[in-house]
């Protein structure tokens, strides 16, 4: 195996990092998101859950 990273592997690693960042960043902002939307924190947390479910269902398709 070559010590040089292949382009598809690099793209997959960058994509995984980006998805992880966008999924975990809103957790720290949850009180602000809830306040801005005028909903409770658990209700705003459902937004993050919806995004996480989308990532869970879409990630296998994206890797193809």
Q: How far apart are CA 24 and CA 4, in angstroms?
A: 30
In a domain, 11, yes or no: no
Q: Tell whether 54 is covered by a domain.
A: yes
pLDDT, residue 45, reads 92
CA distance 52 to 33: 16
- Is residue 15 a part of any domain in this protein? no
Q: Determine the structural domain holding residue 28 and report its residue range.
A: 20-63
pLDDT at site 24: 83
Residue 10 belongs to a domain: no
Total domains present in the chain: 1
pLDDT tens by residue, the chain, 64 residues: 556 778 888 888 898 898 888 878 888 899 999 999 999 999 999 988 888 898 889 878 877 7
């Amino acid at each position: 195996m070559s010590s040089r990273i292949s382009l598809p592997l690099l793209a997959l690693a960058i994509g995984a990092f980006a998805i992880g960042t966008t999924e975990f960043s809103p957790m720290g902002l949850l009180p602000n998101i809830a306040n801005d939307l005028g909903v409770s924190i658990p209700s705003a947390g459902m937004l993050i859950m919806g995004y996480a479910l989308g990532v869970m269902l879409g990630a296998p398709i994206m890797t193809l």
